[in-house]
Structure 1
Amino acid sequence: MATIKEIAQKSNVSTATVSRVLNNDDSITVLEETRHRILQTAKELGYQTIHERRKKQTQTQAKKSAPSIGIIACQTVEEELNDPYFISIRQGIEEELYRQGVSRIGSYRLNDMLTVPQEFPALDGLLVIGRLGEDVLKQGSQKITNIVYLNYVPDEELYDSVTVDFEKATKKALEHLMSLGHHKIGYIGGVEREHLQRKKVISEDKRLTTFESMIKKGDFEGSDAIYIGEYTMSSGYELMKKAIQKKKHPKAFFIASDPMAIGALRALQEAGLSVPSDVAIVAFDDIEAARFSNPPLSTVRVYTREMGQTGVKLLMDRMSGRKLPVNVTLPTSLVIRQSCGSPLAVNPFKEVVQ
């Protein structure tokens, strides 16, 4: 790097003058032409003041110390489009990372990783959205120790996680339908799958097992009205068509996702059945479209964005040195609109949150 002496010689001024000009000394009186010549010479020679060097050093250190965070989505693009639940979690993650000033973010889609096996780059932390087996992570890298699972946890004694109490949420929805006088309730839901190395396995869906458990306890009837497909709008449509073909179909349904419920509404309308007077519905998720369906859906609100935000906070805390795993279970709310037939939802433009 050039010195002040070299700049002074080339500018034909004293070293003291160069020093005071380069350090923005306002007390010095110097012709503007001379000042410009000194600054231009310094620029040509690549000179940096102590302040500039310190600033650059600080920026370099900050860049080196900035954490590198990875996000793995277990869902394909098509699955995310069919069910915005997981998109909302990812958006919450990205919003919180931005607030935390994290710019080094790597996004990975599990389907691509399994199709073309690859190792993760050196990451300081990882956020996993969905049901991903430990063996997949171990295959990808042995180096990542700071991992937070969203909507699932393979081992709560090893990993941080943010989940929802699906059992409690499902009971809340079913008890609401029972309070409206329904003694037979149908179930429409999809299949939960855990992603393992080179395969997927069907795993427990707490919404379904809670429904079945309440039937066994005698809370209501419905063992012959359980319909399982995929968590998509079209599957909800086809399953509801199948359900209402029975002469004694239930007058109320718990549907395990809003997209499935929107598809089910279409099937009921095509069959000339009115919601909620002929069939009452309570769904699950509370995606944006639930408020604008016809009629608006009563549904269990899951705070998906907050799940993503909380996951980032856990990860940053873990990277700061915390050793003990933390598992956070966020609450849910029952949002009462017109599809369930509750007298609380008399105004189509308002909702009741319980």
Structure 2
Amino acid sequence: MAKLSDISKMTGVSPSTVSRVINQDPTLSISHDKREKILEVAANLAYLSPRQRRQNQPEQQRIIARANYQRGHQSPIQLCVVYHHSAEQELDDPYFTYIRLGLEHKCQMHDITLKRVFKKDLSKHERELSQSNGVICVGNFTDAEIDYILSLNAQLVCVDYSPNALNVDTVLCDRTKAAEFVVNTMLKNGTQRPAFIGNQDERLQVFRALTQQQGLYDAARCIVSERFCIDSGFDGMNKMLRNCTAPDILFAATDIVAMGAIKAIHQHGIRIPEDIQVISINDIPSAEHLHPSLSTLRLYPHDMGETAVSLLLERFEGRCVSKSVIVGFQFIWRDSFLKNKSNKSK
């Protein structure tokens, strides 16, 4: 990389003068010919000022990254992404849509080709999996499925799942910690009839454990469904309202589930948040446009997708030790949940 001192030697002027010419200092007094000579030498040496280097940094990084990651490869880099869910199931949960968009965005930045594969079709894509530069698995997989993928390609990153296999990179959201935050927020807000609608995962386990500790758990107000969808929230809330005293705070495992639950609550003529408060996890774009707007724990699935690609790129540069990245969350207060409601009502 050319330096100011190189231009200085070739033009016979001081480095500070060279700098002032290149940065177009209007107060500098210098002849037209000398100015043109400095600019000509700088152009021939492909010199970039610090400001120009900062402006060009994204493009420079892309070019350097592409050169590094394509060592030994004549064709463009290709990654396989294996999804545990189908394209239709993705429509039920935008969380996975945003992971996919994050993957695609990061790959576009680095001119990487993506091959999309679904878990149910693994055996049909052995060739693509083995010939790809790396594989990213999104969602839940069995140990046998992970071992099978590793037998085809050792460069593996798992998103939203932590396998037992060694030397696999992971990108995770700590759902246990997220659920603990939500349930503790409910408890601090004075809930006496907490409720939950979701499936069999960490969120259910945390809800059950923490409410049992406080003597507040009621199985009739804990609805376990198989899928995260609007219908499961709607049906679960209707079942709960038919079979027991209405809850004072509902923890819906995802915003999609919350949407169905809110619809059922409205149909029963129950007010939100005056009679039932609703709190959820994800913060999908429509959450703030519900009536009332949904209080929810914002996750960062787009960042998770981008991070997965970054981990593979680090592997291509020589990192050998496995790495796990935990992506954080942020609580978004909206109208469906009243902060410190119990204190205000006293």
Q: Does 1:173 align with 2:170?
A: no
Retained in 2: the 8 A contact 1:85–1:287? yes
The runs of at least 4 consecutive aligned structure 1 residues that moved more than 3 Å come to 60-63, 116-119, 137-141, 219-224
Paired residue for 1:82?
Answer: 92
Quote the Cα distance in structure 2 between the aligned partners of 1:334 and 1:183: 22
Paired residue for 1:214?
Answer: 210
- For residue 142 of structure 1, report the CA deviation from its aligned partner: 2.3
1:70 to 71, 80, 101: 80
SS of the residue 1:106 aligns to:
strand
Quote the Cα distance in structure 2 between the aligned partners of 1:246 and 1:82: 27
Alignment-mate amino acid for residue 262 of structure 2: L
Higher relative helix content: 2
2:326 to 320, 324, 329: 329
Quote the Cα distance in structure 2 between the aligned partners of 1:156 and 1:210: 26
Alignment-mate amino acid for residue 172 of structure 1: F
SS of the residue 1:275 aligns to:
coil
- Aligned pairs for 1:1-354 within 5 A: 64=74, 66-102=76-112, 104-113=113-122, 118-119=126-127, 120-139=129-148, 142-155=151-164, 157-191=166-200, 205-218=201-214, 220-229=216-225, 230-342=227-339
Retained in 2: the 8 A contact 1:233–1:262? yes
Unaligned runs of 5+ in 2: 1-69, 342-346
Unaligned runs of 5+ in 1: 1-59, 192-204, 345-354
1:98/1:219 CA distance change after superposition, 3 Å: farther
Quote the Cα distance in structure 2 between the aligned partners of 1:157 and 1:117: 23
Retained in 2: the 8 A contact 1:177–1:340? no
Retained in 2: the 8 A contact 1:74–1:110? yes
Paired residue for 2:8?
Answer: none
1:147/1:118 CA distance change after superposition, 3 Å: closer
1:157/1:216 CA distance change after superposition, 3 Å: farther
Retained in 2: the 8 A contact 1:166–1:206? yes
Alignment-mate amino acid for residue 77 of structure 1: A
- For residue 140 of structure 1, report the CA deviation from its aligned partner: 5.3
1:343/1:184 CA distance change after superposition, 3 Å: closer
Quote the Cα distance in structure 2 between the aligned partners of 1:320 and 1:222: 53
Which structure's CA Rg is the greater one? 1
SS of the residue 2:151 aligns to:
coil
Alignment-mate amino acid for residue 165 of structure 1: D
SS of the residue 2:308 aligns to:
helix
SS of the residue 1:339 aligns to:
coil
- For residue 182 of structure 1, report the CA deviation from its aligned partner: 1.0
1:152/1:137 CA distance change after superposition, 3 Å: closer
Alignment-mate amino acid for residue 322 of structure 1: R
1:117/1:98 CA distance change after superposition, 3 Å: closer
Retained in 2: the 8 A contact 1:215–1:223? no
- For residue 63 of structure 1, report the CA deviation from its aligned partner: 6.5
Retained in 1: the 8 A contact 2:293–2:336? yes
TM-score, normalization by structure 2: 0.73
RMSD between aligned residues: 2.2
Please give the per-residue CA displacement for 1:136-179, whole angstroms capped at 9, x wherever unaligned. 24445623111000000112642100001111111111122222
Quote the Cα distance in structure 1 between the aligned partners of 2:323 and 2:145: 22
Bigger mean CA deviation after superposition, 205-214 or 174-183? 174-183
Retained in 2: the 8 A contact 1:183–1:221? no
Retained in 1: the 8 A contact 2:146–2:163? no
- For residue 181 of structure 1, report the CA deviation from its aligned partner: 1.8
SS of the residue 1:338 aligns to:
coil
- For residue 112 of structure 1, report the CA deviation from its aligned partner: 3.3
Quote the Cα distance in structure 2 between the aligned partners of 1:170 and 1:177: 11
Quote the Cα distance in structure 2 between the aligned partners of 1:136 and 1:274: 46
Please give the per-residue CA displacement for 1:179-222, whole angstroms capped at 9, x wherever unaligned. 2221221010024xxxxxxxxxxxxx111111111123227434
Alignment-mate amino acid for residue 177 of structure 2: K
TM-score, normalization by structure 1: 0.71
The number of aligned residues is 270
- For residue 77 of structure 1, report the CA deviation from its aligned partner: 1.5
- For residue 132 of structure 1, report the CA deviation from its aligned partner: 1.5
Query: Percent of aligned pairs with the same residue?
Result: 24
